Amino acid sequence: MPTCPVLRPSGRAVDALRPIVLEPGVSKYAEGSCLARFGDTHVLCTASVDERVPPWLRGQNQGWVTAEYGMLPRSTLTRTDREAARGRQTGRTQEIQRLIGRSLRAVVDLGALGPRQIRIDCDVVQADGGTRTAAVTGSWVALQQAIGVLGDRLEEGAAPLTGQVAAVSAGIWKDQVVLDLDYAEDQHAEADANFVFSADGGIVEIQGTAESSPFSTEAFQTMFAFARRGADALFAAQRTALGR
Amino acid sequence: MPTCPVLRPSGRAVDALRPIVLEPGVSKYAEGSCLARFGDTHVLCTASVDERVPPWLRGQNQGWVTAEYGMLPRSTLTRTDREAARGRQTGRTQEIQRLIGRSLRAVVDLGALGPRQIRIDCDVVQADGGTRTAAVTGSWVALQQAIGVLGDRLEEGAAPLTGQVAAVSAGIWKDQVVLDLDYAEDQHAEADANFVFSADGGIVEIQGTAESSPFSTEAFQTMFAFARRGADALFAAQRTALGR
Amino acid sequence: MPTCPVLRPSGRAVDALRPIVLEPGVSKYAEGSCLARFGDTHVLCTASVDERVPPWLRGQNQGWVTAEYGMLPRSTLTRTDREAARGRQTGRTQEIQRLIGRSLRAVVDLGALGPRQIRIDCDVVQADGGTRTAAVTGSWVALQQAIGVLGDRLEEGAAPLTGQVAAVSAGIWKDQVVLDLDYAEDQHAEADANFVFSADGGIVEIQGTAESSPFSTEAFQTMFAFARRGADALFAAQRTALGR
Amino acid sequence: MPTCPVLRPSGRAVDALRPIVLEPGVSKYAEGSCLARFGDTHVLCTASVDERVPPWLRGQNQGWVTAEYGMLPRSTLTRTDREAARGRQTGRTQEIQRLIGRSLRAVVDLGALGPRQIRIDCDVVQADGGTRTAAVTGSWVALQQAIGVLGDRLEEGAAPLTGQVAAVSAGIWKDQVVLDLDYAEDQHAEADANFVFSADGGIVEIQGTAESSPFSTEAFQTMFAFARRGADALFAAQRTALGR
Amino acid sequence: MPTCPVLRPSGRAVDALRPIVLEPGVSKYAEGSCLARFGDTHVLCTASVDERVPPWLRGQNQGWVTAEYGMLPRSTLTRTDREAARGRQTGRTQEIQRLIGRSLRAVVDLGALGPRQIRIDCDVVQADGGTRTAAVTGSWVALQQAIGVLGDRLEEGAAPLTGQVAAVSAGIWKDQVVLDLDYAEDQHAEADANFVFSADGGIVEIQGTAESSPFSTEAFQTMFAFARRGADALFAAQRTALGR
Amino acid sequence: MPTCPVLRPSGRAVDALRPIVLEPGVSKYAEGSCLARFGDTHVLCTASVDERVPPWLRGQNQGWVTAEYGMLPRSTLTRTDREAARGRQTGRTQEIQRLIGRSLRAVVDLGALGPRQIRIDCDVVQADGGTRTAAVTGSWVALQQAIGVLGDRLEEGAAPLTGQVAAVSAGIWKDQVVLDLDYAEDQHAEADANFVFSADGGIVEIQGTAESSPFSTEAFQTMFAFARRGADALFAAQRTALGR
C-alpha cells in the first residue's frame, strides 16, 4: 500500500460508505417495497407474495424466495440496451439475480414460510456502482415487509425470517483498499469484492475478483474487515427504515 | 346515456383529469427526462441522444426518434412477468412503443434533427390506467430537454421540434363518457380511446376500441371533445414543467 | 383541400372502393374460409374450431375468438423476411392480429359460443395496401361459416354471432381525403386511418395516424364519412358472398 | 407383395400420379412464380432475385440459390401452429427447405448466375401429402422464370440453368408399392421415399425412410422405377407450363 | 469410372471402412453408452431411460425412443459456434438427430418397451467425416445396453429390441465410388449418401445427395452395394462390443 | 467443529484432493487441449486461436481470452436437458464461463497477445462435483499450449502468459471443512467456495456461498487455507502435464 494515498473522487474516507437511504413502502401495490439509495445508485426493490410455489417444489410443504434484477435502459451513463427488446437477459443480470435470491434465502426458514413464493424484483433506476449490494440490502427490507403482511396466513408460531442480511462492496482502487465503490472507482479498480453478511456475524456470500492481476491475501483481509464494518451500518439503516 | 349517472370511483367529474404532475430532469444521466404522474400512474420517461442513426437511415442526412416501453413487474396490482425474463415483448408493449414513437415524430423535423437518433424510454413505475397517455405526455417533455441539450451540434437555424404533443384517454364507463380513465374504470369500460393531439389543434393519433359491443357515433364525438379539452390542460402542464 | 385535385393512381373517385371479391369456402379443411380481394390485395382467411379454450378461460363456460396474421414473403413488392425464419413476429404483425381478434369478438357472444375457441388465420397472399381491412372483412365471412358448422354442438337457442363487422381505410393523399388506399397511395399518405364498423351503425375500432404532421378535425370527419359509406358496400358484399 | 391388392383411396393405379397442374406467373410481384397442384396439395412457389449474395459468398463472383418453406396454419386437416408465432421453425421445415435448395442448385451453374441470390419461397396453401415434391417441382418453374427475367444482367453467354429437376414420392402402402402418396396413404405407409431427378436421367436426391420396420431391396427398386417414370411426366408438365 | 483411379487420402481401398472401434459402457451414469470411433471420428453415445413418456404419448401404453445430436465446438478443424450460445440448433443438427431417432425406432417394438422413453445423446468429440453414421452405429449399442438394464421393469416376455441397425456412408469422390468417406474426401465429394440397414437385410433409411451435379443410377447401385457390405462389418463390430 | 468427525464418502482426509490427472494434447485439431480429471469429474478443455478480435476490441491492438462451458446431457447422474435444444444457456452456465474467462485473463498480458482471440471451450464429459474448478485448471494447460503454438505470430519478445492459475473448491460438509468436494458431499454441503489462485501466491477469484445458513469467519479461514495448499498441488500437476 502506498504511503501517500490518492483522494477518492467522492472525497470519502477509504472505509466510508456513501450516504445510505432506505425508503420502505414506496409501492402502492407490492406487499413489501424499498427504494434503496447508496449515494447516486437507486434501486427499487419490491416483494410480491404468490400463493403458489414453483412446479419443482409442489407437494413439499415449503416455500421459496427468488429474485429478478433489471436495469432501466438509461439508468447508466450511456444508454444500455433493454433486455426485453434483446430477448435475453445477460450473464451479468442472471448472476446478480441468483446472488440476491441466495442471499435472502440464507435468512429464511422455507418450511416456516409455507407453500408460497415471495418474488423479489430489483430494478435499478439509477446506477452509480454497487447496484447489487444496494439491491440485496433493500430487498431484505421489502422481504421483511412482505412477510409481515402474511400474518394469519402463516402457521401459528411460524417465523420465516430468521435473520438480517446486507451487502456491501470493497475493492482495491489506486493501490488502496476502499469500501463501497462508486462507478468512478469501479471502472478502474484493481480488485472488486461483494460481501453479504448476516447481522449475527455470519458470512452469506463472498465474491471477490481480480480485475487485472491477482491480489494479495493481506488486501483481501482488509477488504473483508472494511466490509464487515460497513455491513453493520447497513443493518442499522435497515432497522431504522423499519422503525425499530 | 342514463338520467342518473354513477359517481366515478375517484369522485371526479366525467370530464376531469386526474392530478397531473410532470417532473422534468429526474435522471442524473439522461439528456432529457420527465417523471409523468397521472394520479397514481407514474411513468419515468428518458430521452437519450445517440449520434448514430439506425442502419436503414444511413447516408440520408436525417435523424430518427424512437421509443421503447416497459412496465416494472410490480407496477401492477398483481405481479406481471418480466418481459426480459420471458425473452419476448408482448404485442401490447410493442403497440404502445410504436404509438409513442409515431406521436413524437409527428412534431419533429427529422431533417433538422440531423444524422442522430433520440431514443425515448418509458418505464412504468406504477400503473393505474392510462400508462400510454402519461408516457406520450411525459416523453414530449424529455424530448424537448434532449433537443435543447443538442445546441451547437445542430445546424445553424435548425429547429427540430415543430410542435407539442400530449395524449389522454376517454371512454365509456357505466354508460357515461368519461375522461382519463383510471384502472378501476378501465377494467369495466365499454369503450376506450386514446387521443394524441398537437397543441395547434391537430390530430396525431386516435385509437378507439369497443370493449364488448360497438359504440355510437355520438359517444365517440363526446369522447373526442372531452379529450380535446383534456389535452389543452396537458399542454399547459408541459409548459409549466419546462418553466415557460 | 386544393381546388384542383390530383387523380388517384387507380383512377378511382376519392370515395370509391377497389373491386371487392369475397370468395367463401376456398379451403378444403377449414370450418370456415374466405379469400378476400380488395383489388390486388388478396388475403386468405380461415376459421378453425378448436373444442378447447385457452388455459386462462378454463372453467368459465365461455368461448374465445382469436386471430393470427402473416404475410407470405413475396406477397410484397420486394421480398419481406419470413417471420418464422427470423423467429419473431414484428410489432406490426402483432398489432394487426390483435385488431382482427378484437373486431370479431365485438360481434360474438362468447357465452353463447360455449367452451370452444375459434382461431382465425389471415395470410396475405398478395399485398397492395389495406391488408388489415381485407383481413377483418374476409375473416367475418369465415367466422360466420365456422359458426354455422357448429350446429348441434351449440346449446339450444344459442346464437353466438350478434352482428356483422367490416373494415376499410381512409386517408389523406395529396391533400385530399380518399377511401380504401392502395399501396401507391399508402406510401405517400399524409394520414391513414382504419375503421371497423358494425352493420347496425356502431363503431368497433378506429385507428387514425398522422404520417408526417398532424391533421385537422375536418379531414378526420370526412375520412369517417367515407369509411362509413364504404363499410356499407362491404356489408353488402359479405351478404352476397354468403348467399343472402 | 400380396396377390390381391387393396384399392388406393383415390382409385389411382399404383404407379399413377395425381392430377398435376403447374400454373406459372401467379404472383404480381415475384420475378418467377408457380402454383403447383399435385391433386389437393397446393404449393405456391415464388422466386425472388436479390442482387446481393449472402455474407459468406462475398467476393467470390458467384451466386446462390436458397429456399424457404412454410405451411399456412390451416393448410392441414387440423390446424397446425404458426411457426412465426412459436418463434422457431421445426426440424421438418428445415429439412424440407434444405432439400429444395440443394435440389435446385444441382441444376444451376452458380458462377454463371453471377453475384446475386435467388430466394425461393414455397408456401403450402393446402396439404394433402407430398408437399415437398410439389414444392421442388413448382420451384423449378419459378426459378426458370426468374432467371429468364435476368436477361442483360447476366454476363454474355451465361446460362445459369443447366437442367430440369422434379420430385415425386413413392412408398409402400398396404404391402404394395405406390407412386405419389396422398395424405390418406402417407399416414399409414410402411415406407416413404422422395426422389429428385434431373431430366437427363441423373439422381439429385433420394430420401427413403422405413416408417415402422425395414423394407426390402426389391421394394426399393420398384419405388425407384415408379418414381423415375413419374418424374418424366412432371418434366413434361413443367415444359407445358412454360409453353415449350 | 476412370481407368486409372486416384488413391484415397487414407490409402484405403475404395470399399474399405476406416478402423472401427465401439467401446461400450464408457459413462459412469448412463444406462447405456458407447464411444464410437470411425477412424478419427469419435462420437460419444449415451442412452438414458426416463420412466415417463412425452405428453403426446400419454395414456397409450407404449414407449418412445428419441435422439439428440451435438458437436463440441472444437471437434472440427476450425472452431464451430456452440449451438447453446447461439440459442438455436441448426437445420443440419435437427436433420441428423431426427435420422438417428427414426433409425433406432425401426428396430424397437414401442409397445413392448412400455410407457417409458429412452433418450439417446450423440455428442461428437472429434469430427473427421461420417459423424451421423458413427452416431447411429454407436447409439444402437448404447440402446441395447439400456434396454438390458430394464430387466424386471419390462412386462414378462417383452422384447423391445427387434433387430440391429448400423449406418455407413458411400459417395463419389474423384469419379470413383468410395465407402465411408472421411472429411478430406467429403469436402470434395460429387455425391454423398448415408445408408442405414438392419442386420436382417432390410433398408431403414437412405439419404443420397448430389453435391454439384446429378449422378447416375449405376453409381448409386455401387454405393448401395458397398454400403451393404460395410454394414455387415459394423454389425459384427457391434456384436463384438457387446461380447456376443 | 465436532469432536468426532464423519468420514468422507470417498474416505479422503479433509484436506485431500481427489486423484488429479491432466492429459494435454487430446484434441486432433485444437491449438491447445487438456482432459482434466478430478476424480470422476472429467472436463475436456480446448483452446482455439482466432486471428480476429471481438468487434468491441477492434483497433485497440490487444487480444482477448474468453471461455464457454457446457455439460453433455448425460454427464450427470440423471439426464440434464441439452442447452442447445432449450435454446438458452442457464444462469449457472453463464456464471461459470464468465468465471473461467476472468480467471485466465488475470494471467494474460492482452497487449502482448496481440490482436487475436483465444477461445476456451470447457465441456463436461462426466460430472462428479467441482466441474468449474477442473475446467479452470485444465483450461490453463490448454491455453499454455495454444500460446506456445503462436510462436512467430507474436511480436518479438512478447510473453502473453504472465502466470499460472488453478482452481479448487472447499466447503463445509457435516460440520467439517473439506477440500475438493465431490457430488456426494456437494449435495449436502452447508457452505461451498471456489478459489482461483495464481502460482505466485495471488488471489484471482473467491466465490463463497452459504447453502442453508450463514457460516463463520473461522470456517472461511480454514477453507481458504485448505484451498491454498490444494492449489499448490494443482500447479505441480499442471507443470508435470506440460513436461516441466
pLDDT value at position D1? 46
pLDDT confidence tier of residue F1, bands split at 50, 70 and 90: very low
Cross-strand bridge partners of residue D243: none
Q: Nearest CA of chain A to the CA of B114: how many Å? A: 20
Q: Return the percentage of chain E with pLDDT > 70, whole number.
A: 98
* Single-letter amino acid, residue C174: K
Contacts of C207 in chain B (CB under 8 A): 206-208
Can you tell me whether residue A140 is helix, strand or coil?
A: helix
Task: Give yes or no for a contact between A209 and F207, defined as CB atoms under 8 angstroms apart.
Answer: no
User: What is the nearest CA distance from A97 to chain B, expressed in angstroms?
Assistant: 11
Q: What is the mean pLDDT of chain E?
A: 95
Q: Looking at residue D197, what is its pLDDT?
A: 98
| Residues of F whose CB is below 8 A from E79 | 48, 50, 119, 121
What's the whole-number average pLDDT of chain C?
A: 95
Contact D27 C128 (CB under 8 A): no
Q: How far is F28 from chain A (nearest CA, A)?
A: 31
pLDDT at E227: 98
Residues of chain C with pLDDT under 50: 1-2
Of D244, D241, D224, D205, nearest to D20 by C-alpha is D241
Q: Report the chain B residue with the minimal C-alpha distance to residue C207.
A: B207
| A40 contact B CB<8A | yes
Q: What DSSP element (H or E) covers F95?
A: helix F91-105
Tell me the pairing of strands C191-198 and C203-210. antiparallel
Question: Mutating which of A89, A209, A229 best tests the F interface, going by the most F Cβ atoms within 10 A?
Answer: A209
Closest CA to C101 of C69, C146, C149: C69
CA distance linking residue A104 with residue A123, whole number of Å: 17
- Position F182 scores a pLDDT of 97
Q: Residues of D with CB below 8 A from E97's CB? A: 91
Which residues on F lie below 8 Å from E45 (Cβ)? none
pLDDT in tens, A59-101: 888 999 999 999 999 999 999 999 999 888 999 999 999 999 9
Q: Could you give the C-alpha distances from B69 to D85, E195, F166, in angstroms and in order?
A: 21, 54, 45
**Which chain F residue shows the shortest CA-CA distance from E77?**
F29
Q: Cα separations (Å) of B97 from A75, B67, C91, D219, E94?
A: 19, 5, 9, 60, 36
Chain B interface includes C97 (CB < 8 A): yes
Burial of residue A11, with CB atoms counted within 10 A of its CB: 0-12 exposed, 13-18 middle, 19 or more buried: exposed
- Give kind and range of the element (H or E) at residue B208: strand B203-210
Residues in chain D with pLDDT values less than 70: 1-4
Q: Which residue of D has its CA nearest to C118?
A: D79
Can you point out the beta strands (E) in F39-139?
41-50, 64-71, 117-126
Q: Which residue of E has its CA nearest to D99?
A: E209
* Percent of chain F whose predicted confidence (pLDDT) is above 90: 91
Query: pTM, whole model, 2 decimals?
Result: 0.91
Judged by CB atoms closer than 8 Å, whether chains meet at B121 and A82 is answered as: yes
Contact flag D89-C85 (C-beta cutoff 8 Å): yes
Name residue E29's beta-bridge partners. none
Q: What residues in A contact B28, CB-CB < 8 Å?
A: 40, 126, 128
Chain C touched by D74 (CB under 8 Å): yes
Whether residue E181 contacts residue E169, with contact meaning beta carbons closer than 8 Å, is answered with yes
- D-contacting chains (≥3 CB pairs under 8 Å): C, E
Q: Which residues of chain B have pLDDT under 70?
A: 1-4
Torsion sign over Cα E170, E176, E182, E188: negative
Are A126 and B27 a contacting pair at CB < 8 A?
yes
Q: F29 vs E68: CB contact, 8 Å cut-off? A: no
Q: Is F224 exposed, middle or buried (0-12, 13-18, 19+ CB in 10 A)?
A: buried
Shortest distance, CA D152 to any CA of chain E (angstroms): 26
Interface test with E, best of F50, F79, F80 (most E CBs within 10 A): F79
Residue F176 pLDDT > 50 = yes
Select from D209, D211, D229, D235 the residue whose CB has the most chain E CBs within 10 Å, as the one to mutate to test that interface.
D209
pLDDT at A1: 46
Whether residue E30 and residue F74 make contact (CB cut-off 8 A), yes or no, is yes
What is chain E's length?
Answer: 244
Neighbouring subunits of B (3+ Cβ pairs under 8 A): A, C
3-state secondary structure E171-214: EEECCEEEECCCHHHHCCCCEEEEEEEECCCCEEEEEEEECCCC
How deeply is A4 buried, as exposed, middle or buried, from its count of CB atoms within 10 A (0-12, 13-18, 19+)?
exposed
Q: Which of D28, D74, D83 sits opposite C27 (nearest CB)?
A: D74
* Distance, CA of A185 to CA of A178 (rounded, Å): 9
The pLDDT value recorded for residue E1 is: 46
Chain A: touching chains (3 or more CB pairs < 8 Å): B, F
Contact C231, C197 (CB under 8 A): yes
Question: Any idea which of A172-176, B56-60, E37-41 has the lowest mean pLDDT?
Answer: B56-60
Determine the average pLDDT of the residues in E96-102: 97
Distance from CA of C44 to the nearest CA of D (A): 9
Q: Which residues of chain B neighbour A77 with C-beta distances below 8 Å?
A: 29
Residue F2 has pLDDT above 70, yes or no: no
**pLDDT averaged over chain F?**
95
Interchain CB distance below 8 Å, C163 and B214 = yes
Q: pLDDT-based confidence at F4, cuts 50/70/90?
A: low
Q: Say what the pLDDT of residue C102 is.
A: 96
- Answer positive or negative: Cα dihedral of B38, B44, B49, B54: negative
Residue contact D94–E97, C-beta within 8 A: no
Closest listed residue to residue C168, CA positions, set C197, C203, C127, C204: C197
pLDDT for the residue numbered E210: 95
> Collapsing DSSP states into helix, strand and coil, what is residue D232?
helix
Least CB-CB distance to B205: which of C88, C202, C208?
C208
Cβ within 8 Å, pair B89-A84: yes
| C1 close to D (CB below 8 A) | no
Report CB contact under 8 Å: B28, A79: no
